[in-house]
Amino acid sequence: MGDAGEAGGLLGPASVAWRVHDHPAALVGGVRALLVEALHPRAMAAVDRFSDFREDPWGRLRRTSEFVLTITYGTGAEAQAAAAGVRRVHERVRGVDPHSGRRYRADEPELLAWVHNVTVESLLLAYLAYASPLGAEEADRYVAEMRVMGALLGLDGSRLPATRAGLERWILGVDGLVATPAAREALKLVFAPPLPIMLRPAWATLCAGAIALLPDWARRAYGLPPLGPLVTPVWLSTVVLTSVARLVRPVPPAIAAARARTSQPPRGNPRSPLGPPWVAFRAAG
């Protein structure tokens, strides 16, 4: 999809994904993705049994972030290697969901597609709400570009929507979503992970931004109340936090390497915190 050949990887600097994944709002999207994904009982059962999220609550978020960045900004060989590593891990993850009594395998298409599609939707919504608006065509391009990631994990095109509307329909069509005890435990860890005291306000802001992007059915499943009059301050504080983070954080190595390979100029300053993303945030929430 990119136009930079091997240097630009599978997507290239002209892709929408290069913009979306270069903004700290992606972290908000990652947290939102974890919360929604946990509502699939069999997916959560696999995480509960095989993940060390209790001992290392940052691990899954970090590994997911590194994988997405490698697929987006890595060379074709790096992306293929990262996907092969994930597939090897998935081959060992299998068991029985205590909630439904159904068997699960991490490499089965239903679960792979659930995690992939929720991740793509979450990253897109977070960018629209807290970073910058995208036109309908650009949003559709992003969803279509991310099909590359799903294909690398073994999914066929029938489970990978190519438009934002198709993505929303696919997710709404998944049945049996519920907040199991394991999902509720994950929610508690997201709210209160081990952090130095000085970083807790920033994390609370980020979590509030993720909660604000949850669909109503997900909020109801967790028993979370609507934000009500807190909508505006949550949006503003999250935009300010991610905008400041964009200015001061080190550039992730995968992004720095990709920009060096493709001779991309330094990224520009983020848009004003009071800009058009507010419209997208209200629409998403």
At 81-111, the pLDDT tens digits run: 999 999 999 999 999 999 999 999 999 999 9
Whole-angstrom distance, CA of residue 138 vs CA of residue 121: 14
pLDDT at 5: 57
Q: How far is CA 242 from CA 28, 118, 231, 262, in A?
A: 9, 21, 17, 26
pLDDT at 64: 85
Whole-angstrom distance, CA of residue 4 vs CA of residue 8: 4
Whole-angstrom distance, CA of residue 265 vs CA of residue 268: 9
pLDDT at 140: 98
pLDDT level of residue 3 (50, 70, 90 thresholds) = very low
pLDDT level of residue 194 (50, 70, 90 thresholds) = confident
pLDDT at 51: 85
Contact 38, 186 (CB under 8 A): yes
pLDDT at 268: 44
* Burial category of 194 from C-beta neighbours within 10 Å (exposed 0-12, middle 13-18, buried 19 and up): exposed
Contact 252, 21 (CB under 8 A): no
pLDDT at 283: 44
For residue 158, the 8-state DSSP code is G
Residue 43 tokens read as 């997916």
pLDDT at 226 over 70: yes
Long-range contacts of 269-273 (CB under 8 A, 24+ apart): 270/23, 270/131, 270/132, 270/242, 270/243, 270/246, 271/131, 271/132, 271/243, 273/236, 273/239, 273/240, 273/243
Q: What is the mean pLDDT of residues 66-80?
A: 96
Chain centroid to CA 214? 12
Q: What is the mean pLDDT of residues 224-238?
A: 93
pLDDT at 266: 56
pLDDT level of residue 267 (50, 70, 90 thresholds) = low
pLDDT at 48 over 50: yes
pLDDT at 14 over 50: yes
Q: What is the mean pLDDT of residues 159-165?
A: 98
Helix (H/G/I), strand (E/B), else coil: 103: strand
Whole-angstrom distance, CA of residue 190 vs CA of residue 283: 25
Mean pLDDT of the chain: 90
pLDDT at 59 over 80: no
Q: What is the pTM of this model?
A: 0.90
Whole-angstrom distance, CA of residue 19 vs CA of residue 132: 10
Contact 134, 128 (CB under 8 A): yes
Q: What is the mean pLDDT of residues 163-176?
A: 98
- Distance spanning both ends of the chain, measured CA to CA: 31
31 closest CA partner among 195, 202, 213, 219: 213
pLDDT at 134 over 70: yes
Phi first, then psi, for residue 133 (nearest 5°) are -70, 150
Contact 92, 231 (CB under 8 A): no
pLDDT at 56: 80
pLDDT at 274 over 80: no
